[in-house]
């Protein structure tokens, strides 16, 4: 039963590895597209140079500045949440890596027993 689960696990990982280049590239293209769209349509969200120039020119409304100041803690918390999620995914990746090593070790042990 254990070997069957391991074989299914490896088959899933192989499928993921095959499709990851396409999926990852698509995600990067979407991310860059979103960033470009925000740069053009809402520069206050992603362009610090634009924001600083507007503040120095005095063209930013006080309510907008207050809103930005109020939103900043939420953005910082969201960044920490994303960093935490990345660390959590790291734990999952290394858990899978340990499983791969265990399967390889079992395979080597099995092959060594067959040779003797």
pLDDT of residue 1 exceeding 90, the answer is no
Q: What is the b/e burial string over 73-94, where b = at least 16 CB atoms within 10 angstroms of the residue's CB?
A: eeeeeeeeeeeeeeeeeeeeee
Domain boundary among the residues 17, 38, 60 is at 60
Number of domains composing the chain: 2
Asked if residue 56 and residue 4 are part of one domain, the reply reads yes
pLDDT of residue 87 exceeding 80, the answer is yes
Q: Which domain does 82 fall in, by range?
A: 68-116
Asked if residue 72 and residue 47 are part of one domain, the reply reads no
Asked if residue 73 and residue 55 are part of one domain, the reply reads no
Asked if residue 54 and residue 3 are part of one domain, the reply reads yes
Taking residues 71-88, report their average pLDDT: 93
pLDDT of residue 4 exceeding 90, the answer is no
At 2 the pLDDT is 67
pLDDT tier at 12 (50, 70, 90 boundaries)?
confident
């Amino acid at each position: 039963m254990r070997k069957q689960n391991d074989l299914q696990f490896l088959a899933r990982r192989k499928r993921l590895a095959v499709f990851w280049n396409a999926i990852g590239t698509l995600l990067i293209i979407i991310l860059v597209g979103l960033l470009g769209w925000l740069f053009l349509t809402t520069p206050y969200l992603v362009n610090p140079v634009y924001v600083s120039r507007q503040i120095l020119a005095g063209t930013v409304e006080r309510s907008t500045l207050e809103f930005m100041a109020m939103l900043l803690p939420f953005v910082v918390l969201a960044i920490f949440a994303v960093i935490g999620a990345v660390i959590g995914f790291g734990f999952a990746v290394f858990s899978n890596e340990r499983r791969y090593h265990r399967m390889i070790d079992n395979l080597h042990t099995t092959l060594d027993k067959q040779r003797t």
